[in-house]
Amino acid sequence: MPFHGVRAERRYLFKPSPVADVGVNDVHAWRLNQNHRHIYNKLHVALSQGLSAAPSGVSPVLMGLLPEQQCFVKPITNLGGMSLNSVATTAEKISEACINQLQNSQDNCAAGSFWCEFLSGQQTSTDVLILDGEPMWYGHTKAADQKDNNRPIYWLIGADCSESEPAIARFIRRELAGYTGLCNVEMIGEYLIEVHLRGSNAFFDYYPDGFMQAWCDLVDHQKWTGLAAIEQGCLYSMFGDWSLPENAEEIVETAGARLYRDGMMADRVGIIFADSPATAQSIETQLKPII
């Protein structure tokens, strides 16, 4: 079978194809990994690391947090990504909130959500190729401090995040024993906040030429022969209520970058693949309409 869930405009990256069934988005990855899909439960991920967390409706104050202490509130499971329905608020407000609304807010917690003590530090995303529960290769990226609705404006691809590898390896050995394939780990500081049984597809453009073959060799033959490091670059998201000009591709390519017109998210106009955030920001300025 080919990879499951590849978007038409990204198919050029997914060659060769594996024999095994492999999901490349969370919906298919959850469906195809019955023995390891529990890692999509973000409440479990938090509790397994000793963090203070509980389903919405359970008072953080009664669980030992100070009323003014900051907390995250987000869905226990979110296969849509992009920090959907995620907010930051205080333990006191969560303790007073009802759980009969659809959306999380500073004064409300939606049913099916959970709270977790607030974490601070560098936000990172790491793809890991795994053989029988053992990490073989890490591909790191760092998030920008600048955010749009809790979403990083850009990611620095190929960053040095080797200090996070021991924590990632411990989690994988404990929670993904027997798993072979690719997973993605998102962290804030030293703690894992999300785990996915697929990779960060948007970053694959920067991965070494042998990446897809190495992935296929793992899932089809349980074989690992090594892989080079990732090229360094920048993935820059353009958010907002505006449209790209017809000659956007020409403008971006003239600046030595590449453009991806986003058809998935209503408020993300597109993605620029560039060598640095400064280059991408300069291109965005040229693309935006003059108001």
- DSSP string computed for 112-181: TEEEEE---S-EEEEEEEEETTEEEEEEEEEE-S-EETTEESEEEET---GGGHHHHHHHHHHH-TT--E
pLDDT at residue number 14: 96
pLDDT at residue number 203: 92
Q: Do 82 and 152 belong together in one domain?
A: no
Q: Do 13 and 98 belong together in one domain?
A: no
pLDDT at residue number 175: 98
Q: Do 89 and 125 belong together in one domain?
A: no
pLDDT at residue number 101: 65
DSSP state, residue 200: -
> Does residue 240 lie in a domain region?
yes
Q: Do 137 and 189 belong together in one domain?
A: yes
Q: Do 12 and 78 belong together in one domain?
A: no
> Does residue 46 lie in a domain region?
no
Which of these three, 197, 221, 245, is where a domain ends? 221
Tens-digit pLDDT profile for the chain (291 aa)?
689 999 988 899 999 999 999 999 999 999 999 999 999 999 999 999 999 999 988 999 999 999 999 999 999 999 987 667 788 899 999 888 766 666 666 666 778 899 999 999 999 999 999 999 999 999 999 999 998 877 889 999 999 999 999 999 999 999 999 999 999 999 999 999 999 999 999 899 999 999 999 999 999 999 999 999 998 999 999 999 899 999 999 999 999 999 988 767 778 999 999 999 999 999 999 999 864
Q: Do 111 and 246 belong together in one domain?
A: no
pLDDT at residue number 81: 72
Which of these three, 117, 136, 158, is where a domain ends? 117
pLDDT at residue number 90: 93
> Does residue 47 lie in a domain region?
no
Instruction: For residue 169, give the H/E element and its range.
Output: helix 165-175
Q: Do 125 and 198 belong together in one domain?
A: yes
> Does residue 96 lie in a domain region?
yes
Domain with residue 175: its CATH number is: 3.30.470
> Does residue 56 lie in a domain region?
yes
Report whether 269 contacts 240 (CB < 8 A): yes
Q: Do 172 and 207 belong together in one domain?
A: yes
> Does residue 228 lie in a domain region?
no
Sign of the torsion formed by the C-alpha atoms of 84, 85, 87 and 91: negative
Which of these three, 101, 117, 133, is where a domain ends? 117
Q: Do 90 and 129 belong together in one domain?
A: no
pLDDT at residue number 148: 87
pLDDT at residue number 204: 94
For the chain, what is the domain count?
3
Q: In which domain, by residue range, is 261 found?
A: 233-287
> Does residue 203 lie in a domain region?
yes
Q: Do 101 and 215 belong together in one domain?
A: no
> Does residue 226 lie in a domain region?
no
Report whether 185 contacts 125 (CB < 8 A): yes
Q: Do 211 and 75 belong together in one domain?
A: no
Report whether 119 contacts 88 (CB < 8 A): no
Q: Do 142 and 205 belong together in one domain?
A: yes
